Chain A
C-alpha cells in the first residue's frame, strides 16, 4: 500500500542522550503510541499535524511529491527554529489518514485512493512559520507541492488501536480484531482510519513492517 517515507534529515548522534529540552511528542504522549498486537481502547488527545492531502497510488508521482513536500516543510521549520534558538523537537514519524478505508481495506483501484499524509508537530509551531518555510523552499527551487502543506489539529477522542506487523495488504486481519474488541466494549468503528508508520517500507521487508492502526469509535446505538 503506502510507500516512500522520503528520506528525512539524519542526524548522526550515536548514543548521545537527547537534551532534556528537546521535545519528542511520541515520548511525551507515549500512552497514545504504545500499541501492542492485541487491540486496546485509547483516548487520543487533540493533536496538531503538518498535513498534505491528495489522491493516487502510494509510490506514484502525486504521493511521492506530497511526502517530499511534507518532509521538506517539516525539516525547514524545525531547523529554522533551531537556528533562531527556539525550542527544539524531534520530527515525528509519518502518519496517514485514509477516508476511503472501509471494512478493513481500501478500494481495489489504487489510483482512486484519497489520503492525508501527516507529521505530528508541537503546538508551539505556528502557521506563520509554515508559510515562511514554504517561501524559503520555493526560493531554492525545492518548493514543489509545499504550498499545499497545512497545519491542522485533529481531535480523535476514543479510538481502538493496535500494532500491525506485516504487509499493508494484510491490515484487514488486524482490523477485524480491532472491530471485535470495539464491539465487545459496546462501541463501533466510526470516523477516519489512521495509520502511524513506524517502519520505512522502502527498506524493511513487508513481513516486518510495523504500523500502528488507529480507528475512532463511537457508542453502539
Chain B
C-alpha cells in the first residue's frame, strides 16, 4: 500500500466542490459534505478551509456572487431577482457585497467586466472542476510537527457546553475540585478535548471537555466524570500565543500540513494540552500542544508528497488567516 498524497486529498475534496457548485441554493450540511469526501466530520471543515483557503460558507458566498455576475452579463433578469437568487434578502445587501469584490455596482457591471473573484485556490464558478485547476492553499511558513505514539490516558473531566472563550469557568471548577483533593500533585497533564469546530458549530452548542490526567485510583464524584483518551499515533504541533488564535493554527495544521503529510486522520477529536498557566503567563507566551489522531500508517514513511503547482503566494492568505477562532 502507498501513502496518501496531496493529490489524493484533492481528489477527495473534488466531489465536494462539484456538489457545492451544483447545489448553491440548497442547504449543505457539513456531515453530508464530509461523507462525500470520506473525511471524518470532526476534521472535514478544517481540512477544507485550509486547502481551499475559504470556509464552506465563504466559498458558497463567493460562487453565488460569481454566478450572479454571469447572470448580470448574460440574461435580462432584474438586479433584484439576481440578488434573491444569490441568497441576498435585499438589493442593497447584494450591491454592497458585490461592490466589495468586483469594485463596481451590479448595474454598472452589466455592461462590462470579468466574472471571477480572486481566489487563492483557483476555484471558480464554472463547469468541470478538476484536480489540475485546484491549487491547494499552502501556508507561508513550514510547520513544526512531530509524530508521537501515545498510551491511552485516563482523565477526569467536566464538560463545557457553550462558547469556547467561556471555558475558563469550567476549568476553574475542575481545578478547584481536583486541587483540594490533591490531584494536582505530580504535575498531571491538563488537556482540552474539542468535540466541535468553533468555525462551524454555533457557540451555544460547542462541546468541550476540560480534562486532568488521573490514575486508576480516582473515582468519579461531584459531577466530575472519567474518560479514556485513546492511545495510538498522533501528530503534534505547538501553538504559541493567545488561546483565541488557536483556530488559525488548527487550520494550518489540518488544512496545509496534513494533506502533504502522507497521513490521514482517525475519526476522533483533536485535543489540546496546556503547557503553561494563563494566570501567570502573558497571552503571547502561552504554549498549547495540539494533537491530531492519525490512522495507522499504511507503509513506511515516504518523503516527497509535495507537488509542483501547489504553491500559492502569500497575499491572499492574510485575510483568510485573519479569521481566527
Contacts and interface: CB of A to CB of B under 8 A. Distances in A.
B179 A80 contact: yes
Contacts of B186: 68, 72, 142, 144
B165 A11 contact: no
B85 to A, nearest CB: 40
Contacts, number: 135
B280 A76 contact: no
Nearest to B172: A11
A71 B168 CA distance: 21
Contacts of B182: 72, 76, 133, 136-137, 139-140, 142-143
Contacts of B217: 140-141
B179 A9 contact: yes
Interface stretch (A86-94, A108-116, A187-195): A86-94
Interface stretch (B24-32, B42-50, B236-244): B236-244
A145 B213 CA distance: 21
Contacts of A10: 171, 190, 274-278
Contacts of A20: none
Interface residues of B, number: 39
B185 A79 contact: no
A53 interface: no
Interface residues of A, number: 43
A132 B278 CA distance: 26
A199 interface: yes
A83 interface: yes
Nearest to B276: A200
Nearest to A78: B179
Contacts of A6: 187
A203 B238 contact: yes
Interface in B275-302: 275-280, 283, 285, 287
11 contacts: A10-B171, A11-B172, A11-B175, A13-B172, A14-B168, A14-B244, A79-B176, A136-B180, A137-B182, A142-B185, A199-B285
